[in-house]
Amino acid sequence: MNKGPAKRHALTTRLWHWTNAAAFVVLFMSGLNISNAHRALYWGDYGYDMSEAWLIVTRFPAWMTIPQRYDLAEARDWHNLSAWIFALGLLVMWAMSLVNRHFARDIATSLNDWRPAAWRAAIKEHAQPGDHGDKSYNAVQKISYGLVLGIGLPLMIATGLAISPGFEVSAPWLVEGLGGRQSARSLHFLCAWGLAGFVAVHLVMVLWSGPLTQIGRMITGGRREGDANA
C-alpha cells in the first residue's frame, strides 16, 4: 500500500516543538520575575550575602516578565505549571524519537560529523540565504540539537528540581551532585540563558532560510528529500 511521502517532521515532533516553545517562553519570562526577587548568584550550598556573589543579575523590566509586575507567588505558579509541561513533553519526545527513529536518523552523530571539514561545509551551506530543501540535518545541526536535547534541556529540569523548596530533603543526591542548592541555581540561570541564545540563533536561521516555508514544514511536516512518492 502506498502510504504517501514520508514526513520530514513526525506529528509527535511537531506537537512537541510548539508545546515546548510555549512552555519555554512562559518559563523564561516567569523565571525573570523570580530572578528579580534576589538578583545575586552563588556557588555552593548557601548564599544570601551579595558580597559573596559571583554575579549580580540586572533587574528585568516588567514587560519581560510574567506576570508583568513583581509578584513572586504568581510567577512561581506560572513557572511550576510550565515546568511540568516542559518536563513531560521532553520525556514523551525522547520516547517517541527512539520509537520512530527520529533520533537515530536525524540527530545521532558519526565520527565524520565531528570533523572540522563537516562543520565548515555546514556553515558554508547556512551562509547562503533561502530555502535549502528538506535535506537531512548537517553536522552542526546534529551536534547542536543533540547538545540541547540531550544535555541542555535535561540539565534545566534537573537544576530546576534541585532548587525547588524542600527537594534537597527528598533527593539530596541530586542537589549534592550539582554542587549544592546555590550552585544548582547558578547552573539553572546559565542554562536558561544558553537555551535562550540557542532559540535566538534558531529564529535568525528560520528568517534567513525562509520563515514561511520553515514554519509551514513544522506545521504540516513537510517531506523527506528524495522520497520517491513525493
- Structural domains of the chain in order of their starting residue, each with its CATH number: 11-220 (1.20.950.20)
Prediction pTM value: 0.86
Q: What is the mean pLDDT of the chain?
A: 87
* pLDDT digit string, tens, across residues 48-74: 888 899 999 999 999 999 999 999 999
pLDDT of residue 11: 84
Write the pLDDT tens digit of every residue in 157-169: 999 999 988 787 8
Mean pLDDT within 81-87: 95
pLDDT band of residue 228 (cuts 50, 70, 90) is very low
Which residues have C-beta within 8 Å of that of residue 64, sequence separation ≥ 6? 29, 32
Instruction: Pull the grid cell for residue 144.
Output: 547542536
DSSP string for 202-230: HHHHHHHH-HHHHHHHHHH----TT-TT-
pLDDT at 61: 97
Contacts from 171-179 at CB under 8 Å and sequence distance 24+? 179/43, 179/44
What distance in Å separates the CA atoms of residue 54 and residue 56, rounded to the nearest whole number?
7
On whether the CB atoms of residues 56 and 115 are closer than 8 A, the answer is: no
